[in-house]
């Protein structure tokens, strides 16, 4: 792949592998291949650890001067930190924690939290609940990050599944109400995309026209690559499961977000069965439909993020059909058998 792009300098942006205690699976979405320094100016990169993953923001400072590019990159990273606190499942400053512990009472939240939850409800409706922001009673039964690798009891899972219904969420202005006992929201399938959108907006407001925003593989390629397309590598899921870095394809984009949901991100294996973090909301169990990853390309990173999860849950046929109906949305489905299918408008190259 890299050899196919002599002008492209490979850079792998690797999400936190989360293997502090020997966890079986790593966490990476995409590898970014990018051209550095055509303009002669050094890009400014900031790296941080937020949202349980490695966040990397690179600002190309042409015209702004290096110091303003640095300020913009610093400001962008601060913004990620603020949203991380608001949207994380726990912590004092978390709006999500407030909503989940409110016992059905209305909760006043920050404007962005209300905005994100409103969008997440829309995506839940659009995908007929394949993406569902109220999936928390199920996700909380699995420990994909820590070391207690166990499959929850079938009865416990079905009780949790009965609590999942995005229609229980109501947003009025900046007030969120989550009706029903035992319900809770989990924004893990959409928050990174939403934050990427906000960072892009912030950078544009700072006069930045070209940047790469990478939230643990949830990538926004802002602007163009000195007149050309950005090349964003898509990880080979089979290699990723084996703990290796390899690309299976690369998409060519301008001003687009590229988001992948894959089985290799978080999970564990018991007796040869892979249990990963993308759950079917109807059952509370990891989706097992022959797919290994789904990549969504669109100008709206929150939409891409939610759709990558939803299309994975829907499976290749229904997921592809949904993506084809959505204007400005392209998708790439990679199967466990190594095959891949893309929407008609996706511009991509296979590796090798």
Which residues of this protein are in contact with ligand ADP, per CB under 6 A?
131-132, 135, 139, 186, 188-189, 192, 218, 261, 265, 277-279, 281, 305, 308-309, 313
Q: Quick one: residue 315, left, alpha or beta (phi over 0 = left, psi -120 to 50 = alpha)? A: left
Residue 222 Cα distances to 18, 35, 81, 256, 352, angstroms? 28, 13, 20, 7, 27
Question: Which residue number, 256 or 277, has a Cβ lying nearer to ligand ADP?
Answer: 277
Q: Tell me how far, at minimum, the Cβ of 205 lies from ligand ADP, in Å.
A: 26
Residue nearest to ligand ADP (CB): 188
Helices (H), the chain: 66-87, 95-100, 111-126, 136-139, 154-161, 191-205, 237-241, 301-325
Report residue 34: phi and psi, to 5°. -145, 155
Q: Which of 309, 330, 331, 340 binds Mg ion (CB under 5 A)?
A: 309
Q: Which stretch binds Mg ion (CB under 5 A): 14-22, 185-193, 284-292, 331-339?
A: 185-193
Within 250-269, the residues that bind Mg ion by CB under 5 A are 261
Question: Which residue number, 49 or 226, has a Cβ lying nearer to ligand ADP?
Answer: 49
Q: Tell me how far, at minimum, the Cβ of 37 lies from ligand ADP, in Å.
A: 30
Question: Which residue number, 223 or 281, has a Cβ lying nearer to ligand ADP?
Answer: 281
Q: Tell me how far, at minimum, the Cβ of 346 lies from Mg ion, in Å.
A: 18
In b/e form, how buried is each residue of 247-276, taking b as 16+ CB within 10 angstroms?
bbbbbbbeebbbbbbbbbbbbbeeeeebbb
Tokens of 296: 């969504």
Query: What, of Mg ion, ligand ADP, none, does residue 277 touch, CB below 5 to 8 Å by kind?
Result: ligand ADP
Q: Tell me how far, at minimum, the Cβ of 156 lies from ligand ADP, in Å.
A: 17
CB burial of residue 105 (10 Å; 0-12, 13-18, 19+): exposed
Cβ–Cβ < 8 Å for 248, 349:
no
Q: Tell me how far, at minimum, the Cβ of 204 lies from ligand ADP, in Å.
A: 24
Q: Tell me how far, at minimum, the Cβ of 7 lies from Mg ion, in Å.
A: 31
Query: What, of Mg ion, ligand ADP, none, does residue 132 touch, CB below 5 to 8 Å by kind?
Result: ligand ADP
Q: What is the DSSP letter of 86?
A: H
Q: Which of 61, 189, 217, 281 binds Mg ion (CB under 5 A)?
A: 189
């Amino acid at each position: 792949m890299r050899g196919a792009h002599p002008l492209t300098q490979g850079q792998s942006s690797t999400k936190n592998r989360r293997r502090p205690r020997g966890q079986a699976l790593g966490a990476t979405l995409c590898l970014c291949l990018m051209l550095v320094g055509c303009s002669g100016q050094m890009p400014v990169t900031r790296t941080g650890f937020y949202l349980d993953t490695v966040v990397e923001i690179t600002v190309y400072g042409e015209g702004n001067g290096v110091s303003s590019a640095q300020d913009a990159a610093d400001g962008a990273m601060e913004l990620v930190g603020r949203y991380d606190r608001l949207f994380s499942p726990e912590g004092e400053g978390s709006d999500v924690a407030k909503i989940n512990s409110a016992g059905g009472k209305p909760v006043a939240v920050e404007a962005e939290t209300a905005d994100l939850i409103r969008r997440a409800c829309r995506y839940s409706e659009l995908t007929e609940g394949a993406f569902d922001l109220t999936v928390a009673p199920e996700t909380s039964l699995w420990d994909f990050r820590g070391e207690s690798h166990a499959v929850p009891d079938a009865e416990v899972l079905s009780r949790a599944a009965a609590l999942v219904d995005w229609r229980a969420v109501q947003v009025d202005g900046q007030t969120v109400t989550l009706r029903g006992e035992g319900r809770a929201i989990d924004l893990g399938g959409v928050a990174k995309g939403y934050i990427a959108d906000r960072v892009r907006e912030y950078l544009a407001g700072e006069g930045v026209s070209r940047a790469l925003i990478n939230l643990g593989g949830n990538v926004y390629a802002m602007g163009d690559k000195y007149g050309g397309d950005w090349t964003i590598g898509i990880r080979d899921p089979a290699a990723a499961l084996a703990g290796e870095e390899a690309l299976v394809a690369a998409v060519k984009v301008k001003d687009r977000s590229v988001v992948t949901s894959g089985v290799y991100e978080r999970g564990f294996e018991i007796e040869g069965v892979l249990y990963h973090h993308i759950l079917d909301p109807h059952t509370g169990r990891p989706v097992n439909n022959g797919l290994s990853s789904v990549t969504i390309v669109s100008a709206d990173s929150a939409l891409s993020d939610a759709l990558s999860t939803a299309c994975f849950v829907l499976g290749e046929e229904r997921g592809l059909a949904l993506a084809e109906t959505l204007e400005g949305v392209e998708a790439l489905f990679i199967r466990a058998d190594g095959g891949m299918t893309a929407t008609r408008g996706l511009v991509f190259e296979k590796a090798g």
